Amino acid sequence: MMIAPANNIRYYSLARQAMVEALLLAGIGRGDHVLIPELICKDVVASIHTTGATPIFYSVDEFLNPINLEMNRPVAAIIAVNYFGFPQNLEIFQQACEKFGAVLIEDNAHGFLSSDSSNLSLGTRGDIGIVSIRKSLRIPDGAQLIVNSTELSKNIPNQLPYIHAPLGVRFNTQRLILDIQKHLHLPLLKWMRSLVRLFRRIKTGSHLPTSASSAEYENIISSGPRDSSMEQISRLDVSNESKRRVRLYNSVSESVLHCNIRPIFDVLPPHCIPYGFAFYGSHEAATEVQRLVSKLGVEAIHWPDLPESVVATAPFHYRNLWVVNFL
């Protein structure tokens, strides 16, 4: 059964497209300023540039809370990020939005299925929310725009048609490998990932995926998701997937207890469904984590590919952040 979007929800291929639509819905365009954390990937910056607006960066501390949202100029929208599915405290953002008459956009790209301690679904707490479902499920696309403000929901864009296309070779191959792996008890996916990393290192000089500096100026064009991805989303067993993620969080936490790293979050808050296990550490420490968690079938990745204007002055905690991804 295909998902029919609720009145206040629209589906897109990518969350960066949902972000463009959120900004446009908020009336943002050329001449406007949008407040965004420095700790962010280039794709979100591209969403702001696509509307013609200018990003203004705020810094975040080691616990990923904003340090200061006091600005010397008005901003039209403020983006708050629920990093790795952990709920951001929105109070300070709401106060800043009231001061400027700005729209609060809750970037919940990482937090599909996650809620805050009052059991409010992440992505439903700001004026507008976005979710990147494809980051939590093995599907090539799928993202949500959630319009929570009654006023703004009057102008929500029409749902773009779903694209009639299969999941694709890469995704089907990964699934097949996972199925075979279950029967053979061999770490096939790990071997495949090592191969991909080797090819990437030969091609780009680094085993980590990188994006061009121009990525933050890419003009983003919205499209609907594939019908095949939407079907996978509708088939998801939410309860099982949530339990799997919480179990993995606990297993990874235990496995890396003696590594020379610092987990970003001390505890998993109630109702939080984590995107992964996030930590600070050197490259060597992350390699050791990778070695330990690979038996759980998960992978440590470096995040994020910082915007160019942030890289030059990025503190240690922006540059040495890793996440064990629970895909």
Angle among Cα 130, 132, 137 to the nearest 5 degrees reads 150
Rounded-to-integer distance, Cα 88 and Cα 108, Å: 10
- Residue that the structure tokens 């590919």 belong to: 305
List 280's β-bridge partners, or say none.
Answer: 262, 321
Q: How far apart are the first and last CA of the chain?
A: 24
Q: How many residues interact with ligand PLP (rule CB under 6 A)? A: 13
| Binding of residue 294 to ligand PLP (CB under 6 A) | no
| Binding of residue 286 to ligand PLP (CB under 6 A) | no
Q: Rule CB under 6 A: choose which of 9, 10, 11, 14 binds ligand PLP.
A: 14
- Token reading at 90: 């929105």
Residues 100-139 interacting with ligand PLP (rule: CB under 6 A) = 107, 109-110, 132, 134
Q: Where are the beta strands (DSSP E) in the chain?
A: 9-12, 33-37, 54-58, 77-81, 103-107, 128-132, 143-147, 262-263, 276-280, 299-302, 321-325
Say which residues have a Cβ less than 8 Å from residue 193's Cβ, sequence separation at least 6.
Answer: 299
Q: How far is the CB of 87 from ligand PLP (least distance, A)?
A: 14
- x/- contact string, 218-257, with ligand PLP (CB under 6 A)? ----------------------------------------
| Binding of residue 323 to ligand PLP (CB under 6 A) | no
| Residue with smaller CB distance to ligand PLP, 188 or 314 | 314
Interface stretch with ligand PLP, choices 14-22, 24-32, 273-281, 309-317 (CB under 6 A) = 14-22
Q: How far is the CB of 97 from ligand PLP (least distance, A)?
A: 19
| Binding of residue 43 to ligand PLP (CB under 6 A) | yes
| Residue with smaller CB distance to ligand PLP, 25 or 259 | 25
Q: What size, in residues, is the chain?
A: 327
| Residue with smaller CB distance to ligand PLP, 105 or 285 | 105
**CA 245 centroid distance within chain:** 15
Residues that bind ligand PLP (CB under 6 A): 14-16, 41, 43-44, 81, 107, 109-110, 132, 134, 143
